[in-house]
Structure 1
Amino acid sequence: MTSWQPGWADFPPTLLEFWTERHLCTLTTLRADGSPHVVPVGVALDAEQRCAWVITNGSSRKAHQAAADGRVAACQVEGRRWSTLEGVAEVRSDEESVTRAMERYAARYRAPRPNPLRVALRIEVDRFLVSSGLV
C-alpha cells in the first residue's frame, strides 16, 4: 500500500485512469457515535477543480452525516487494484455545484435520473491510499 497526497499538477496517470474508469465505490461517513456508515455510491474525480464529487438526495443519511462531521473516505476496488481517497466533504445544493457533480458523474457512469432533491458532496481530497502499481 502507498499513500499519496494530491499534487494535482503531477497526478499519476495510472491512478487518474483508475479513478476515471467505471468502478462503483463505497463512501464511508461517521455516525454521531463515531461508528462507520458505508454505502455504495458513484464517485467522480474532478482534477480540474481538484476535488471529488458524489451526488445524492439531500435527505440521505450520507448527506446528513457529511454535513455534521465532514470526514469521509471513498474506496473502489477491481481485482488486486484498489484505491481509497480521504478528505472533507461539504454538502452543496447550489445549482452550479450540483450541475458540475452531475456532469462529472455522467462522464464516468451515465446520466443520472432527474431528482429535484439532489445535492452534491464536494470532497476536498487530503490523500489517496493505493495498491502497488497505481502510483
Structure 2
Amino acid sequence: MAHDLSALSPEYLAFWGEYQMPTLTTLRANGTPHVVPVGVTYDAEQRIARIITRKDSTKVKNILAAGPDGARVAVCQVDRGRWATLEGVARVRTDAETVADAVRRYAERYGRTPEPNPDRLMIEIAVTKALGRA
C-alpha cells in the first residue's frame, strides 16, 4: 500500500521510531540485491532516512559504484503484520557534523550511542516513496 509522503499517518511515523532492525537493499554491480540489517532513522519533515555505517562496508561500495547521482535503495522493517518500506536515492555523507547528527538520531531511536569510530560515515536516503501497513 503506497502512502502520501506529505501526509504519513501518525501510526506509520511512530513505527519508524520504534526499536526495530530494518534491512537496507542496495544493488551490486551485476544487478543482484544486497540486503543487510541496519539501524535507520527517518525524518519525515526532510524526507530523509539516515544510516550510520563503516566506510568499507559493501552497502557503501554499492552506493558509491552507482555514481554521483546516487543509488536507488529501499529500507524495510517488519513486525508481524505491520511493515513499512521507504524507497529513495542514497548518497554517502562523510562530513563530521552530518555524521554526528546521524549518530545522535540513532541514539534517540535505539537507546544507545555507538562507540566512536573514525571509519564511520552516513548513508543519506532522499525518500521518494513510502509503502506499508503500519
With the length of structure 2 as denominator, give the TM-score of the two structures: 0.91
Q: Secondary structure at the match of 2:5?
A: coil
RMSD: 1.1
- Within the candidate set 53, 64, 70, 1:56 is matched to 53
The residue number in structure 2 matching 1:28 is 25
Could you report, residue by residue, the CA deviation over 1:71-120 in whole angstroms, capped at 9, with x for unpaired residues?
11111000100011100011000012101111111111121121110000
1:1-135 matches, cutoff 5 A: 2-7=1-6, 10-69=7-66, 70-109=71-110, 110-131=112-133, 134=134
Shift of 1:48: 4.1
SS in 2 for 1:23: coil
How many residues of Structure 1 are paired with residues of Structure 2 in the alignment?
A: 129
* Preserved contact between residue 46 and residue 104 of structure 1 (Cα < 8 Å): no
- SS in structure 1 opposite 2:51? strand
Once residues 64 and 108 of structure 2 are traced to their aligned partners in structure 1, the CA distance between those partners, rounded to angstroms, is 26
Unaligned runs of 5+ in 2: none
Distance 1:47 1:102 in 2: 17
For the residues of structure 2 that align with 1:77 and 1:61, how far apart are their CA atoms? 23
- Give a deviation string over 1:54-75, Cα, whole Å, max 9, x none: 0000111101111222111111
Give 3-state SS (helix, strand or coil) of 1:91's partner.
strand
TM-score by length of 1: 0.91
Structure 1, unaligned runs of 5 or more: none
Alignment partners' CA distance in 2, 1:47 and 1:112: 23
Give the C-alpha shift of residue 5 in structure 1. 3.7
| Identity %, equivalent residues | 51
Counterpart CA distance in 1 for 2:121 and 2:11 is 30
* C-alpha contact 1:26 1:74 (8 A) present in aligned 2: yes
